[in-house]
């Protein structure tokens, strides 16, 4: 046989990684694990344990404590007790602890990689070369933030005690993404690993002991969803960070609505992998291997929807099939394996069910001729073609090694198809034309865009979703901010209920009040609009004098305003300079009319406040004119041959419930940061003095603000909040109000998981520009998109 023939026929021999060290570690713990609470091992109060299995053969690895609410309580109490000392440590000392953890992860990397593969089923090549090195990188990076904390975030404090719930697909990496920033910012925490994969979190608990982390700072409670639920509901938790399914994310959002717990959610995805006809096709096929067969496709940002330009579809599919034929599937501890085991039987059955449903809906299924191991949970790499964009396999997360392929003709169609999903986590664009790639990247609704590369991660580059993929970022400066609050905010006084009950409706004909024609109208799409109801609300001065009437907006008016705001999304594409010009023009026009506006406003809030509101309002507009072209993103230099361009993008269409007591300044303080960065807005102005709407819309009309960028619907918050919060085309709600109002804003917007930002029922002094203006608001008005671009040959 010639060398060339041998080369073709050559089979890989088995190259198993030695599990001895991991087995010895399991034996040292007698294959039975308690919770890690207050720096030591604590048996579960109810004495219950569950088994964790090796998915490559279905055998039991160990039994692990099932956490009850009593266990969660013990862990939270330990974290609370440890909090004052930990947050009071100097940044340098905290940095040293994190640095120690990074070193220990590297020192024990082999044990951690093998254990991860045994518990999860992922190929050792991945856990060894990707997961564990990224874990170490995360702790190094955040050791750096701990060191710089006081310099870089002087006016912030940690959230306090954090509850963290992670999934099974990247067990130790997700732990690192959660624990490193939490500790760096000075929080103590309770983390619950996923029930399928608790072992590396327990090994990490050992590293915490070795690193000398004080007892109670890191607590690990194992268990299933019910343990997670107890953690979410615990009253002593200040923040919940969750990664997992959108369904559970939604439940957590509902469960935390009535509390002040901060929440960050990293949820599912159905990420597009777009290949243009000028792409390096072989390169894109390798990218796809990493995109959908990495970790058996059990990746929240998996490139699970292949969108191919029609002209290259046939040749691309054929190249993909050729490559699929060379993928090696088998026992994941084998170093030459590409595709390992599915995490658990239920997940395997879920994948099988969804693929069968996709085929029933018309998709063509192709799989390479692979013999699956006789034991364990395996599913072959699969490609479904002729997939209709509405099919379940094009819309729902399969979380398995299954690619759904579709075609498009033009870049516009590619963007439409790519964005045709409730998710928005990641995306890939393959094209040799940098212009096409970046043009498309800018239009994709996703937190990450990889140009000509796939599934790259780094601690310095924030990761997280748009839309139902969640909110908040992990990694980067923005990820750290998720674990901190401005110092003043947490201690701000409670806002007393400032909105009177809604009076019964009076028919305009019998009321004897001024007719509807003399009523301040709504402002929708740049035009004054009569309210759908025909009703109005009386506006009275503090001593009861009738000041005028404002239109009583209803659900239909909100719908019209949302439509107008959506149509005006071109505002986001206006240049920052252009937006700044419009804002300065607003300031100029307010200055011209300040006496007149102040004298009207005085009838509701008194002369002194009215003058202050107008004067501060002019300044505030100037400030956001200034910010409009200065709230820039960043360029990261991850340790690869890539740059990651972190863009501060607008969230989209935002509903704003304005403060009642400062009708002009409160409105401007919330609406301006949003429009300065390109959002469009539907604002419900002060209930106390909605007549300010007329002054505002004259201001906008005369200042070249495009119609629809700001829409104003007057009326009662108790009637307008619901349609705004429930509207699927509203991307975020900013709600200023008392505790009950902000709790309902959060509860009502669980449906499409829109971002909600509130004052948490606390008072904000709108006259104090140090707290009521600037970066804090702009950070909430934007979401970061990281666009990864490779360089070099």
Contacts with ligand NAI by CB under 6 A lie at 165-169, 192, 194-195, 224-225, 228-229, 232, 243-245, 248, 251-252, 267-268, 300, 347, 350, 397, 399
Cβ neighbours of residue 313 closer than 8 Å, sequence gap 6 or more: 405, 407
* Among 535, 531, 478, CA closest to 506: 535
* Among 498, 471, 506, CA closest to 752: 471
Supply the minimum distance, in Å, between the C-beta of residue 622 and ligand NAI.
Answer: 43
Contact (Cβ atoms closer than 8 angstroms) between residue 37 and residue 69: no
Contact (Cβ atoms closer than 8 angstroms) between residue 188 and residue 161: yes
Of 147 and 271, which has the nearer Cβ to ligand NAI? Answer: 271
Of 167 and 475, which has the nearer Cβ to ligand NAI? Answer: 167
Please list the alpha-helical segments (H only) found in 382-474: 392-395, 411-419, 434-443
Q: How far apart are CA 419 and CA 256, in angstroms?
A: 29
Q: How far apart are CA 143 and CA 184, in angstroms?
A: 7
Chain-centre distance for alpha carbon 421: 16
Of 304 and 783, which has the nearer Cβ to ligand NAI? Answer: 304
Supply the minimum distance, in Å, between the C-beta of residue 564 and ligand NAI.
Answer: 34
Q: What residues does 555 pair with on adjacent strands?
A: none
* Among 188, 250, 196, CA closest to 216: 188
Supply the minimum distance, in Å, between the C-beta of residue 348 and ligand NAI.
Answer: 10
In a 3-state reduction of DSSP, which class is residue 719? helix
* Among 559, 514, 509, CA closest to 537: 514
Burial-class residue 561 by CB neighbours within 10 Å (0-12, 13-18, 19+).
Answer: buried
Q: How far apart are CA 363 and CA 366, in angstroms?
A: 10
Cβ neighbours of residue 204 closer than 8 Å, sequence gap 6 or more: 112, 172, 175, 179, 220
**Nearest residue to ligand NAI, scored by beta-carbon proximity:** 228
Q: Where are the beta strands (DSSP E) in 232-312?
A: 239-243, 262-266, 272-275, 305-309
Supply the minimum distance, in Å, between the C-beta of residue 38 and ligand NAI.
Answer: 22
CA distances from 412 to 388, 419, 446, 462, 502 (A): 18, 11, 16, 27, 47
Of 165 and 656, which has the nearer Cβ to ligand NAI? Answer: 165
208 part of the active site: no
Of 174 and 460, which has the nearer Cβ to ligand NAI? Answer: 174
> Phi, psi (5° rounding) for residue 12?
-75, 135
Of 268 and 761, which has the nearer Cβ to ligand NAI? Answer: 268
Chain-centre distance for alpha carbon 438: 22
Supply the minimum distance, in Å, between the C-beta of residue 174 and ligand NAI.
Answer: 8
Of 225 and 514, which has the nearer Cβ to ligand NAI? Answer: 225
Supply the minimum distance, in Å, between the C-beta of residue 463 and ligand NAI.
Answer: 11
Q: How far apart are CA 579 and CA 585, in angstroms?
A: 10
Place of tokens 């409009």: 628
Contact (Cβ atoms closer than 8 angstroms) between residue 688 and residue 663: yes
Q: How far apart are CA 791 and CA 169, in angstroms?
A: 30
Supply the minimum distance, in Å, between the C-beta of residue 358 and ligand NAI.
Answer: 15
Of 251 and 438, which has the nearer Cβ to ligand NAI? Answer: 251
Contact (Cβ atoms closer than 8 angstroms) between residue 535 and residue 618: no
300 part of the active site: yes
Supply the minimum distance, in Å, between the C-beta of residue 251 and ligand NAI.
Answer: 5
Supply the minimum distance, in Å, between the C-beta of residue 231 and ligand NAI.
Answer: 7
Set 159, 208, 300, 461: catalytic member: 300
Of 347 and 755, which has the nearer Cβ to ligand NAI? Answer: 347
Of 55 and 723, which has the nearer Cβ to ligand NAI? Answer: 55
Cβ neighbours of residue 379 closer than 8 Å, sequence gap 6 or more: 296, 342, 348, 351, 352, 372, 400, 401, 402
Supply the minimum distance, in Å, between the C-beta of residue 182 and ligand NAI.
Answer: 17
Retrieve residue 689's tokens: 């003095």
Retrieve residue 649's tokens: 């993008």
Count the neighbouring beta carbons within 10 Å of the beta carbon of residue 341.
Answer: 29
Please list the alpha-helical segments (H only) found in 48-131: 69-88, 91-107, 109-120, 124-126
Supply the minimum distance, in Å, between the C-beta of residue 344 and ligand NAI.
Answer: 8
Count the neighbouring beta carbons within 10 Å of the beta carbon of residue 345.
Answer: 13
Contact (Cβ atoms closer than 8 angstroms) between residue 240 and residue 260: no
Place of tokens 């579960």: 44
Of 225 and 706, which has the nearer Cβ to ligand NAI? Answer: 225
Q: What residues does 647 pair with on adjacent strands?
A: 785
Dihedral sign for Cα atoms in the order 264, 266, 272, 276: positive
Set 157, 229, 266, 613: catalytic member: 266
Contact (Cβ atoms closer than 8 angstroms) between residue 220 and residue 204: yes
Of 209 and 226, which has the nearer Cβ to ligand NAI? Answer: 226
Supply the minimum distance, in Å, between the C-beta of residue 268 and ligand NAI.
Answer: 4
Q: How far apart are CA 289 and CA 275, in angstroms?
A: 14
Catalytically active residues are: 266, 300
């Amino acid at each position: 046989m010639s060398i060339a023939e041998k080369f073709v026929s050559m089979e890989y021999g088995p190259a198993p990684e030695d599990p001895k060290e991991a087995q010895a570690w399991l034996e040292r713990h007698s294959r039975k694990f308690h919770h890690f609470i207050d720096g030591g091992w604590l048996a579960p109060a109810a004495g219950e344990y569950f088994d964790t299995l090796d998915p490559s053969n279905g055998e039991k690895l160990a039994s692990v404590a099932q956490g009850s609410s009593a266990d969660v309580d013990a862990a939270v109490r330990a974290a609370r007790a440890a909090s004052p000392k930990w947050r009071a440590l100097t940044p340098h000392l905290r940095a040293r602890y994190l640095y120690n953890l990074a070193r220990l992860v590297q020192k024990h990397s082999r044990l951690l990689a093998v254990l991860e593969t045994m518990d999860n089923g992922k190929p050792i090549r991945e856990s060894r070369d990707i997961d564990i090195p990224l874990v170490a990188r995360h702790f190094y990076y955040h050791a750096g933030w701990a060191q710089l904390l006081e310099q870089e975030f002087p006016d912030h404090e940690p959230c306090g005690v954090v509850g963290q719930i992670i999934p099974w697909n990247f067990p130790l990496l997700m732990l690192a993404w959660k624990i490193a920033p939490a500790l760096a910012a000075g929080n103590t925490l309770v983390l619950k690993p996923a029930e399928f994969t608790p072992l590396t979190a327990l090994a990490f608990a050992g590293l915490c002991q070795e690193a000398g982390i004080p007892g109670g700072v890191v607590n690990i409670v194992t268990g299933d969803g019910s343990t997670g639920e107890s953690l979410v509901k615990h009253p002593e938790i200040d923040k919940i960070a969750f990664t997992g399914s959108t369904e559970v994310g939604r439940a957590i959002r509902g469960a935390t609505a009535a509390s002040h717990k901060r929440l960050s959610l990293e949820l599912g995805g159905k990420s597009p992998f777009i290949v243009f006809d000028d792409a390096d096709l072989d390169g894109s096929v390798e990218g796809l291997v990493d995109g959908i067969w990495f970790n058996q496709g059990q990746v929240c940002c998996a490139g699970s929807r292949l969108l191919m330009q029609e002209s290259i579809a046939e040749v691309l599919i054929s190249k993909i099939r050729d490559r699929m034929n060379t993928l090696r599937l088998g026992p994941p501890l084998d170093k030459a394996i590409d595709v390992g085991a599915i995490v658990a039987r239920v997940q395997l059955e879920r994948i099988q069910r969804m693929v069968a449903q996709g085929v029933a809906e018309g998709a063509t299924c192709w799989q390479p001729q692979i013999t699956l191991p006789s034991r364990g949970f395996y599913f072959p790499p699969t490609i479904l073609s002729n997939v209709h964009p509405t099919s379940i396999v094009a819309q729902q997360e399969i979380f398995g090694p299954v690619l759904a392929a579709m075609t498009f003709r033009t870049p516009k169609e590619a963007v439409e198809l790519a964005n045709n999903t409730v998710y928005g986590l990641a995306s890939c664009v393959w094209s040799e034309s940098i212009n096409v790639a970046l043009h498309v990247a800018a239009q994709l609704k996703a937190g990450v865009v990889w140009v000509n590369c796939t599934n790259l991660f780094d601690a310095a580059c924030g990761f997280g979703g748009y839309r139902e993929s969640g909110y908040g970022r992990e990694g980067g400066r923005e990820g750290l901010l998720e674990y901190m609050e401005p110092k003043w905010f947490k201690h701000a006084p409670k806002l007393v209920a400032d909105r009177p009950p809604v009076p019964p409706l009076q028919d305009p004909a019998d009321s004897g009040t001024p007719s509807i024609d003399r009523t301040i109208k709504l402002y929708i799409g740049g035009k004054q609009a009569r309210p759908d109801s025909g009703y109005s609300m009386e506006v009275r001065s503090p001593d009861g004098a009738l000041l005028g009437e404002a239109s009583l907006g209803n659900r239909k008016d909100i719908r019209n305003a949302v439509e107008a705001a959506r149509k005006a999304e071109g505002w986001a594409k206006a240049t920052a300079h252009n937006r700044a010009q419009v804002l300065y023009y607003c300031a100029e026009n307010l200055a011209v009319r300040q006496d007149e506006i102040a004298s009207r406003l005085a009838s509701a809030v008194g002369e002194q406040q009215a003058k202050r509101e107008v004067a501060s309002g002019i300044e505030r507009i100037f400030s956001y004119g200034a910010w409009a072209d200065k709230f820039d993103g960043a360029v990261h230099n991850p340790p690869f041959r890539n740059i990651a361009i972190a863009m501060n993008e607008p969230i989209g269409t935002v509903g704003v419930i304005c403060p009642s007591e400062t009708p002009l300044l409160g409105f401007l303080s919330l609406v301006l940061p949003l429009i300065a960065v390109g959002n469009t807005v539907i604002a419900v102005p002060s209930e106390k003095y909605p007549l300010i709407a007329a002054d505002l819309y004259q201001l906008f009309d005369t200042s070249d603000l495009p119609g629809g960028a700001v829409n104003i619907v007057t009326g009662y918050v108790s009637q307008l909040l619901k349609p705004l919060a429930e509207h699927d085309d509203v991307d975020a709600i900013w709600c200023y109000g008392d505790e009950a109002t902000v709790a309902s804003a959060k509860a009502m917007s669980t449906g499409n998981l829109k971002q909600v930002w509130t004052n948490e029922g606390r008072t904000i002094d709108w006259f104090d520009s140090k707290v009521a203006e600037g970066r804090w608001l702009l950070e909430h008005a934007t979401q970061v998109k990281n666009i990864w671009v490779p360089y070099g040959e």
